[in-house]
Amino acid sequence: MTENVCTQCGNKHIVINRKYNGQKLCSHCFKESIEKQVLKTIKKQKLITKNDKVLVGLSGGKDSVALLKILNILKEKNIIELEAVTIDEGIGGYREEGIRIAKQTAEKLGVKHHIVSFKDKYNFTIDDIMEYQKTVDKPQHACTYCGVFRRQIFNQVAREIKATKLATGHNLDDETQSIMMNYLEGNINNMVRIGYKTESSDERFTQKIKPLRKIPEKEIGLYVVESGFEVHFDGCPYAHESFRMEIGDFIRDATLKHPTIMYSTLNGFEKIRPAIKEQYLKQQTGKPNGTCKKCGEPASQDICKACKFLEEIQQQLGV
Ligand code: SF4
Ligand code: ZN
């Protein structure tokens, strides 16, 4: 029978038993292993270079709190500059708590923090949009709108503060879900964009990076708790309606019997990604890297998606 002690240091208080690689770790060795793994990913995938100014999308959820804490190691070593931005989409009963924790985390780490709300910027909230959607025949999903406006705000803040990288807390579960979702939907366009970092030749886009991409969601939650940071585990009330949620449940179930399945999905995808990308990009040549005529943001058509949605919502809500 194997002993129930930390496989690194022999400490008897283990906090995790990693079924996928047989490691049992105490709190100290576990936290160290997470930090090492993330910093190794950053180095290997060339996500950050010295003197980068990194902006973290800080929702106050466990992923972004963990990300800020780990990137703060690089800030403290004077390798990077670090700031954080929280977006208040106006989701009652959910976002308030995230904002409180985001503020508290940034303060604790001494990181400059920006908060931008949909209400201030667009004069409506996601709750307003969804109230209206209840009255139509074919209601749209909240994430369809939310994602587009969030992206626009992230890009704008990154440009305003002259950030060179925009870091998000996507974890292994998120990435596996994205791969499966896009595959099942046949959405190759989105699939080729899944990666450690975005690759755009357009300088108006700040490069997006995902340093937590190889860390399972459960371990990120444990890392935050073991690090003594507060975290809210509640999910967005609109998320349960999504296809992503269904896929997430399926993968979580499969992981119980097959502990390595998320790693094999990600690793397998990384192997075929260059081939899909090459083949796909051949078909995409000639696609213009244009500018939205309304807002001046980068767009593939005359009017960007955010401006199209904005017009539609302003008409519907009369704002
Ligand atoms: Fe917005 Fe959807 Fe995320 Fe909720 S789950 S915050 S609606 S993108
Ligand atoms: Zn626009």
Q: Is residue 169 part of a domain?
A: yes
CB burial of residue 185 (10 Å; 0-12, 13-18, 19+): exposed
Element holding 203 (H helix, E strand): none
Residue 274 lies in a domain: yes
Torsion from C-alpha of 240, 260, 271, 283, nearest 10 degrees: -20
- Report the C-alpha gap between 134 and 319 in whole angstroms: 18
Do residues 199 and 277 both lie within one domain?
A: yes
Regarding whether 167 and 35 lie in a shared domain, the answer is yes
Domain co-membership, 177 together with 310: no
Q: State yes or no: 146 annotated in a binding site.
A: no
Structural domain count, the chain: 2
pLDDT of 226 strictly over 90: yes
Residues 264 and 167 in one domain: yes
Structural domain boundaries, residue 308: 287-318
Whole-number Å distance, alpha carbon 150 to ligand 1 midpoint, is 9
Task: Please classify residue 101 by burial: count the beta carbons closer than 10 Å to its beta carbon, then call 0-12 exposed, 13-18 middle and 19+ buried.
Answer: buried
Q: Is 243 in the pocket of ligand 1 (CB under 6 A)?
A: no
Band of residue 3 on the pLDDT scale cut at 50, 70, 90? confident
Q: How far is CA 257 from CA 16, 19, 248, 262, in A?
A: 18, 10, 15, 12
- Across the chain, how many H-helices and E-strands are there? 12, 9
The residue-averaged pLDDT of 14-21 equals: 95
Poorest-pLDDT segment among 28-37, 75-84, 156-165, 278-287: 278-287
Give the span between the Cα atoms of 13 and 150, in whole angstroms: 41
* Domain-located, residue 12: no
Å from CA of 146 to ligand 1 middle: 6
Shared domain check, 205 and 292: no
Separation of CA 308 and ligand 2 centre (Å):
7
Segment 154-185, tens digit of pLDDT: 999 999 999 999 999 999 999 999 999 999 99
Which residue type is seen at 235?
Answer: G
CB proximity list for 139: less than 8 A, separation 6 or greater: 133
Looking at the fold, whether 193 and 76 belong to one and the same domain comes out as yes
pTM: 0.92
Query: Is 198 inside a domain boundary?
Result: yes
Has residue 2 been placed in a domain? no
Question: Does residue 89 line the site of ligand 1, with CB under 6 A?
Answer: yes
C-alpha–C-alpha distance, residues 91 and 142, integer Å: 10
Same domain, yes or no, for 236 and 299?
no
CATH number for the domain harbouring residue 196: 3.40.50.620
Mean pLDDT of 258-280: 92
291 with 228, same domain?
Answer: no
Same domain (yes/no): 159, 203: yes
